[in-house]
Amino acid sequence: MTEFLILRMSAEEAITLDIDLSGNFSRLERGYVFAECERVIGEYERSGAPRRVIRLGIGDATLPVCPAVSAAFAAAAEEMSHAETFRGYPPVSGYSFLRDAASGYYRALGASVSPEDIYISDGTKSDAGNIYDILGDCTVCIPDPGYPAYRDCAIMAGKRTKDIPAAADNSFLPMPDCLGKDVRGAAIWLCSPGNPTGAAYTEKQLGAWVDFALESGSLILFDAAYAAFAAPGIPRTIYAVKGAEECAIEFYSLSKSASFTGIRCAWCVIPSALCSGGARLTELWRRRLSARSNGVSYPVQRAAQAALSKIAINYADECVRYYKENAAMIKIVFEGKGIEACGAASSPYVWIKCPDGYSSEGFFDRLLRKAQIAGTPGDGFGSGGRGYLRLTGFGTRADTEEAARRLDTLL
Ligand code: PLP
C-alpha cells in the first residue's frame, strides 16, 4: 500500500480481518491534496505561527447565500413539519420543479436542454466519481493539471487513465491533438473555466473537442462548475456548441457561485440521444441511481430552485465579481514582481509559476512560513502542475488585501 494509506496503530489495536480490500487504492499517488495541505497548515499553526495564517488554498465559498435562497430553504423545512405538506423520499432524478428551473438556466444561455435529461445530485464531486459506474473498459482522459477528483475516482474505480497535458505552451488549454490520433471511444474530461489554471475555452476550441469526440466515438465529460465565472464571450455550457448533445455529458454545480458548498446541490445533464453499444447512457444512469441513491432532500432542492431565480442569479453575479476582483488583486502583485501568473479573468483562481526555481512544495512552504499565506502546491493537481502554486480569490476582501501586502513585502 502507498505509505500515506498505511494505518498507524499499535499491535494491540490492530484487528486483522480476512477480507480482500480494493487494490486500486494502492495506485493512488498521494493523499487528497487539500486534506494534506490542511494537515501541514494545522501543524504549523499549532507549532506557533507568528501571526494568523491566511488561507488562500481551498476553493470554498465564503460569501453567504442569497436571502431568497435561505428563505426558500427555511420555508421548505417548515413544510416538512405539517402533515399536509410533509414529503418523504424525493424522486431519485430530482423534483420536476428543479429540473424545470435547470432547463430554464440553459434556455437563458441559448441552449436547449430537456428537464428529462437533467439529474439532480448532492454535488459535482459525487457525480464525477459516480459517472465511472456506467463506463466500462474505456480510457479516461484527464487534464493534467486538473481537478484531482477526476483522477482519484477513476483510479479507485479501476479505470485506465491517460493525461491530457495542459501546460503554458498551450495556454493551459489542451486541444485534441494532445491525445494522438489513435484515441477512440474514450471518456474525456474537460473543465472550462478550469481548475486550477483558470484557463477557459472559446466556443471554437470547444467546437474542436466536440468534432473530435463525434469523429472518435468518444464521450466528453464537461465540468461547468465555474460557468458563472466565465468572462463575456466564453461559453458557459458545452451545449452552446453544435453537436455536443450527441457526445457530451455536462456537470453543473451551485457550489461556487451560489455558495452551495455547504448546502450541496448540483446536476448533470445526460442527453437521451447518447447511446453506445446499443444502450442509452440515460438508462444506465437511471438504473444506477435507483440502486444507489434516494435523492437529494426537498428543502435543498427548493433552495436550489430559488438559487436559479433572477434575484439570486443577480446576487450570485455580485459574489462572482467579488471573488474575481480578489483573484485579480493577487495576480497583480505577482505580475508586478515579474512572476508569471494567470487566471482571475474567468475564474476565482490564480495559477502562479513558482519563482527562483522553487518547487511547488518549496514555494508553498515559503509562503506559509514567511508570509503566513496558505496556497495549494500545483503538483497536487497532477504532475503537470509541478513548479506551480494555486491561490484563490475565495478569501474575504480584508484577508485578500492583507495577503497582497504580505506578498508584496516578501517577493
Ligand atoms: N468541479 C471542480 C472543477 C471543482 O473545482 C470543484 C470543487 O472545488 C467541484 C467540481 C466540486 O463541486 P461540488 O461542490 O458540486 O461537489
Q: Average pLDDT in the 187-215 region?
A: 98
Q: Average pLDDT in the 368-389 region?
A: 96
CA of 296 to the centre of ligand 1 (A): 17
CA of 143 to the centre of ligand 1 (A): 15
pLDDT > 70 in the chain, percent: 96
**pLDDT for position 395:** 95
Q: Please check whether residue 189 is in contact with residue 141, taking contact to mean a CB–CB distance below 8 angstroms.
A: yes
Q: How many residues does the chain have?
A: 411
CA of 271 to the centre of ligand 1 (A): 21
- DSSP for 223-288, please give it: E-TTGGGPPTTS-SSGGGSTTGGGTEEEEEESTTTTT-TTT--EEEE--TT-EETTEEHHHHHHHH
CA of 124 to the centre of ligand 1 (A): 6
212 lines ligand 1 (CB under 6 A): no
CA of 18 to the centre of ligand 1 (A): 36
Residue 5 reports pLDDT greater than 70? no
**pLDDT for position 180:** 82
* Residue of 125, 127, 256, 394 with the most ligand 1 atoms within 8 Å of its CB, for mutation: 125
- DSSP for 273-331, please give it: T-EETTEEHHHHHHHHHHHH-----HHHHHHHHHHTSHHHHHHHHHHHHHHHHHHHHHH
Q: Average pLDDT in the 240-250 region?
A: 97
CA distances from 178 to 84, 164, 172, 217, 255 (A): 58, 6, 12, 17, 31
**pLDDT for position 2:** 45
* Residue of 130, 147, 259 with the most ligand 1 atoms within 8 Å of its CB, for mutation: 147
**pLDDT for position 312:** 98
176 lines ligand 1 (CB under 6 A): no
**pLDDT for position 16:** 86
Q: Average pLDDT in the 7-16 region?
A: 64
Burial label, 279 (beta-carbon count in 10 A; 0-12, 13-18, 19+): exposed
Specify the ligand 1 atom closest to the Cα of 60: 8
Cα 99 from Cα 342, distance rounded (Å): 35
Handedness of CA 306, 310, 315, 321 (dihedral sign): positive
Q: Average pLDDT in the 128-145 region?
A: 97
Cell of 63: 460569501
Q: Average pLDDT in the 198-218 region?
A: 97
Cα 258 from Cα 304, distance rounded (Å): 9
Burial label, 11 (beta-carbon count in 10 A; 0-12, 13-18, 19+): exposed
* Residue of 256, 259, 264, 347 with the most ligand 1 atoms within 8 Å of its CB, for mutation: 256
**pLDDT for position 11:** 59
Cell of 84: 399536509
User: What is the overall mean pLDDT for the chain?
Assistant: 95
Q: What is the DSSP letter of 158?
A: T
pLDDT tens per residue across span 288-309:
999 999 999 999 999 999 999 9
Cα 215 from Cα 201, distance rounded (Å): 20
Phi, psi of 249 (to 5 degrees): -105, 140
CA of 333 to the centre of ligand 1 (A): 27
CA of 102 to the centre of ligand 1 (A): 18
**pLDDT for position 1:** 40
Phi, psi of 391 (to 5 degrees): -120, 155
Residue 9 reports pLDDT greater than 60? no
Q: Average pLDDT in the 311-331 region?
A: 98
CA of 256 to the centre of ligand 1 (A): 8
Q: Nearest Cα to 224, choosing from 271, 198, 190?
A: 190
**pLDDT for position 35:** 81
Q: Average pLDDT in the 271-298 region?
A: 96
Closest Cα to atom 7 of ligand 1: 59
127 lines ligand 1 (CB under 6 A): no
Residue 59 reports pLDDT greater than 80? yes
* Residue of 253, 257, 349 with the most ligand 1 atoms within 8 Å of its CB, for mutation: 253
Residue 15 reports pLDDT greater than 90? no
Q: Average pLDDT in the 370-397 region?
A: 96
pLDDT tens per residue across span 151-185:
999 999 999 999 999 999 999 999 999 998 889 99
pLDDT > 90 in the chain, percent: 91
147 lines ligand 1 (CB under 6 A): yes
User: Which alpha helices (DSSP H) does 63-177 contain, by range?
Assistant: 67-79, 96-108, 124-130, 148-156
Cβ neighbours, 10 Å, residue 196? 31
Pairing state between β 349-353 and 388-392: antiparallel
Q: Please check whether residue 206 is in contact with residue 238, taking contact to mean a CB–CB distance below 8 angstroms.
A: yes
Q: Please check whether residue 338 is in contact with residue 331, taking contact to mean a CB–CB distance below 8 angstroms.
A: no
255 lines ligand 1 (CB under 6 A): yes
Residue 34 reports pLDDT greater than 90? no
